[in-house]
Structures are given as structure tokens and as C-alpha cells.
Amino acid sequence: MLALAALLTALIALIAGCSTGGTATPVAQPERDSGVSVTQDPGAGATDISPTAPVSVTASGGTLQDVALTSESGRAVQGALSPDRRSYTVTEPLGYGATYTWSGTAIGASGDSTPVEGAFTTVDPDSVTSVTTYIADGQEVGIAAPIILKFDAPVADKAAVEKALTVTTTPQTVGSWAWLPDDGGSRVHWRPRDYWTPGTAVHVAGNLYGVDYGDGAYGESDFTLDFTVGRSQIVKADATSHRMQVIRDGATIMDIPVSYGEGNEDRNVTRSGVHVVTEKHEDFLMSNPPYYENVRERWAVRISNNGEFIHANPATTGVQGSANVTNGCINLSLSDAEEYFGTAMYGDPVEVTGTRIDLSAADGDIYDWAIDWSTWQSLSALPGGTDTASAGAAGSSATGTGVTTGTAVPAALPTR
């Protein structure tokens, strides 16, 4: 009995000694999981992102609340929340060389939340390249007018640019892009395989903003261009006949005596081939040093950039219809030149035949119709060119006086 009492007393003392002055150590509780995960595209911390790349945030296992993507200036980028509130997608282009930051919350089924946070940075180009057109928005053109896009700097990745270009026509038109030589920049032309059908409506779209042109250059902006093709007017100019016909919608409306280039030297040979009317002037000072300089000519219609015009020249009236004596232009009487001038439109074809030198790249910007169709297709940056137009919503698509440097209609400005 005494031994049992001593044992109980020792146990009581031991228990008291263990509890006196001690602090209980809490057991770590598992962190409560909200049950929702957030995915960003592009990911947080990403750099050199195209300003037109898809941008979104998605909540898996929950819904989004008060989500926003904000520019450095504090402006909220336009975006749309999906009906189930599980994803948010940016709906406008971003700016170049800018940082964008996410904010908001993802709420799980349990009511717990996960923050939407993180930032990414868009690409900062070494340069941006702009484009102009030779046709103005809303212009009416002749049946041989090519679509010409002139870039203000060389384009290294021509295929990337060409993929971003679309031509839509009503009625369906088969055509192709071709990249032609250009000093100080790049230019690409789209022409139909055959002359345009009169009345064709043409829509050109260039989704060029955000396109990597190569060598550190990117597209400055998107653009659209809309124009229509007018009546069919073709000038038939056979130098051996010393005459010229103007054919409107299949009917000859003028058949007149003219004089072509004398042809005794290469410099005064009127080039054979399909020329294109590019500009016209009631009065024009012409120069061809050392032969003549600042000679005033009337009713001048330019048909190439090598100095070829159809214009009045009273000095050759006596031989018009019987001899070719000019420096390469097509000379008409004053009355015939004025009448023809009134009918001419940008883009009209002038088909010259019967001379010993053909129209070529040496003769200026628009020699498109001097290139046969298969060769033209080979000048596309894409395999096979765009020889087969795909059906569009209202037709088909394939990717003033004077040359009008058109103002392409820009798309909405991106977020800066």
C-alpha cells in the first residue's frame, strides 16, 4: 500500500511539472484551397508580345469578377467577359513597347478568391513602316488599273505582309499580288489576270498593324480601300497605221490620224505594249534635254513614266496620219486631243503595237501588263500567288486626274 501511494504521488508531481510554465505548440492547419486556378495568355512576365496577339485570362473552377487589363497610363483596355464569366478576352489592339497589367478576382465555388494579377510587355519595334495607295478611296478607275501599295521602307518579310492583304471583288475576279522593284522602299501590285469587268466593286484590306516586316520593322497601321471600275475604254494605237482608235464598251468612238515616235533612235521609239493612263493635264510643260525644254503642250494624257503622252501638237498636224516624227509621244490635232482628253480616265489601257521596243520596267511604275500571267504570279511572295480567288460575302477575295496618292482609310487607333 505504501509503495502504491508513493507511485501515485510521483505521477502527480510529474504531470504538474510538465504543465507548469509551458506553451502549447499549435498543429499547422492545411491552407484552404479556393478551388479556382487562373491562366493568362500571354503569361505573366512575357515580353515582345505582338500588339495584335490574342490576350485573355481564364478561371478554371470558378468565375471572374472585376477583371481589367490596364495600360501604363491607367487606361482600361476594352475587353469582353464571357457569358459564363469564366474568361475575359481583350477586344482591341494594344500599343507598341508598352506594359499592361491585370487586376481582378477569381471566385471559387466555396466563395474563396484568387487574385488576378501579373503583367506583360509588347514588342518595341526598331521602326514602323507606313503604306500609301495610288488609288483614292471612292475613286472610279479604268479597266487596266492595278492596285498599288507603296511602303515607305524596304519590306524584308514580304510573305508576312502579303498574308495580311485581302482583295475582295464583286463580281469574282482572278488576280495576284506581285512585288516589283522600288528604290528606297517596297511596293506590291495586285492586278487581275485579264482587264477588270466594268462595274466591279473592289475592297482592299490590309491588317498590317502588328505584322513583323523583318529587320526590326513592324506595320504602322491597318487600312482599307474601296473603289469601283468604270466603263471599258481601250485605246488601240498601231504605229504602222499612223492612226489611233478609242473603243468604248466595244464601240469605236474615235478613229483619228496621229503621229508616233520617229523611231530612228531608241530614245524616240514609242514603246509597244499595254500602257496605263496615269494622269492628265490641260496644260503641261514638257522637257527632253537637250532636244527641248519647257515646251507648253495642251491636252496631255500621260501613259508611262518614261515621258510618253498622248497630247496635242500643232507642229505635227501636217503629217499626222501619214508619218511618225515625234520624240516618242502620240501627237494629235488640238480638237482631237481635247476630245480624247475628255474621255480619258486613270487606269485606261493604251495598247501600242507596231514598234521595235517593248514597254518594260525601264519605262516607269506601271508596266504590269507587259508581264505575262505566269511570270506575274511568280512575283508573289507566296507559293503559287493568289491565282484562284476564294468566294467572299458578296463576290470574291484574294489575299481624280493624275496619279492619286490615296489616303488609305486607317482602322481604329490601338491602345497606347
Q: Once rounded to an integer, what is the mean pLDDT over residues 281-309?
A: 93
Question: Could you tell me the pTM of the whole model?
Answer: 0.84
pLDDT > 70: percent of the chain: 84
Band of pLDDT at residue 385, cut at 50, 70 and 90: low
For residue 17, name the pLDDT band (cuts at 50, 70, 90).
very low
The most confident of 73-82, 108-117, 280-289, by mean pLDDT: 73-82
pLDDT above 80 for 330: yes
**Contact assessment for residue 242 and residue 309, using Cβ atoms and an 8 Å cutoff:** no
Tell me: pLDDT of 257 over 60: yes
Residue 376 is predicted with a pLDDT of: 97
- How is the chain split among helix, strand and coil, in percent rounded to 5? 15, 40, 45
pLDDT value at 35 more than 90: no
b/e per residue, 46-74, with b = 16+ CB within 10 A? Answer: eeebbbbbebbbbbebbbbeebebbbeee
Q: How many CB atoms lie within 10 A of CB 382?
A: 14
Using DSSP's 3-state secondary structure scheme, residue 253 falls into: strand
Tell me: pLDDT of 388 over 50. no
Query: Average pLDDT of 202-220?
Result: 98
Q: Mean pLDDT score of the chain, rounded to an integer?
A: 88
Please report which confidence band the pLDDT of residue 342 belongs to, taking 50, 70 and 90 as the band edges.
Answer: very high
Q: Tell me what the mean pLDDT of segment 307-314 comes to.
A: 97
| Position 33 confidence tier, pLDDT thresholds 50, 70, 90 | low
List the catalytic residues: 311, 329
Give the other-Cβ count within 10 Å of 243's Cβ: 17
Look at the alpha carbons of 391, 393, 399, 404 in this order and tell me if their dihedral is positive or negative.
positive
Report how far residue 240's alpha carbon sits from residue 257's, in angstroms, rounded to the nearest whole number. Answer: 12
Q: Is the per-residue pLDDT at 47 higher than 80?
A: yes
Which residue has 529587320 as its cell numbers? 215
Q: How far apart are CA 253 and CA 88, in angstroms?
A: 63
Residues 390-403 have a mean pLDDT of 39
Q: How far apart are the first and last CA of the chain?
A: 93
- What is the pLDDT at residue 386? 59
pLDDT at res. 255: 98
Give me the pLDDT at residue 203, please.
98
Query: pLDDT tens digits for 155-197?
Result: 999 999 999 999 999 999 999 999 999 877 899 999 999 999 9
Q: CB under 8 Å to 151, separation ≥6 — which residues?
A: 129, 130, 131, 185, 186, 187, 188
The rounded percent of the chain whose pLDDT value lies above 90 is 79
